[in-house]
Structures are given as structure tokens and as C-alpha cells.
Amino acid sequence: MDDDPSVLKSLSRALRIRAFEARTFSSARDFLAALATELPSCLIVDVQMPRMTGLELHHHLARTGVHIPTIVITAYEDARVRDMSQPSDIVAVLSKPLRNAALFDAIALALSPGSSRNGGHA
């Protein structure tokens, strides 16, 4: 999930090349609306989102009992982002620009049997 259409397109393309089924959302509200029909195996969220940040979305999901292994991406990494990313469902915090190797390592960790959920799409 990212509010930058070019990042969404690039991320979606990288995931599909690796045979992941990927759905993209430009806002937390759009994601939450779709959540009623499908729970993803992995969630990739940007910290800086309008109205509800990626971390706020993740904390909202956890408070409501929805646990999805989450990868947080940020253009402005600092200690505060890492501190706010401590819940066990957050498997990685990655800096933009994303390196594909780091992203796919984080996805493998998110989809591993030790994660809250595992399955076939990111």
C-alpha cells in the first residue's frame, strides 16, 4: 500500500514477476474496505500515507484482532519508525528506494511457517 502510483506500479510488477498474487491500494480506507472479502498473507505498507499511516493501519488491525505479517517501507527512516514498528506482526522495516533482494527476503520471512499467517500472496 502506497499513495504514490509509480511506487505501487513498480512494487506490483516486481511481485508479479516473482509469481506473487498482489493487490495494490492507495489508501488504508481502500484496503480496509477490501479486507472484508479477503485476508492477505502479507501486507506491505508505506509509513507516510494520507489520513491513516501504514503504522496506524497496522496498529488498528492488531487492536481489532487481525494479524497479518507486515513489511513497513519508509522514505524517512528514523529510530521513531523502528520503535513504533515493534509489534510481532511487523517482520521488516525497509527504506526506500526498495532493494528487490531485501524486499523478497522480508516476504519470505513474512510467509514462513513461524509468521502469524502464511499463504500464497503478498
Q: Mind listing the domains of the chain with CATH numbers?
A: 5-111 (3.40.50.2300)
* Integer CA distances (angstroms), 67 to 4, 10, 41, 103, in order: 25, 26, 10, 20
What is the tens place of the pLDDT at every residue in 36-65? 888 899 999 988 888 888 888 988 998 899
Q: What is the pLDDT of residue 77?
A: 63
Q: What is the pLDDT of residue 82?
A: 57
Does 86 have pLDDT greater than 60? no
Report how far residue 47's alpha carbon sits from residue 74's, in angstroms, rounded to the nearest whole number: 5
* pTM, full prediction: 0.81
Report how far residue 57's alpha carbon sits from residue 1's, in angstroms, rounded to the nearest whole number: 10
Tell me if 83 sits within 8 A of 77, measured CB to CB: no
Q: What percent of the chain has pLDDT over 70?
A: 80
Alpha-carbon Rg for the chain in angstroms: 13
Using 50, 70 and 90 to split pLDDT, how confident is the model at 118?
very low
Mean pLDDT of the chain: 81
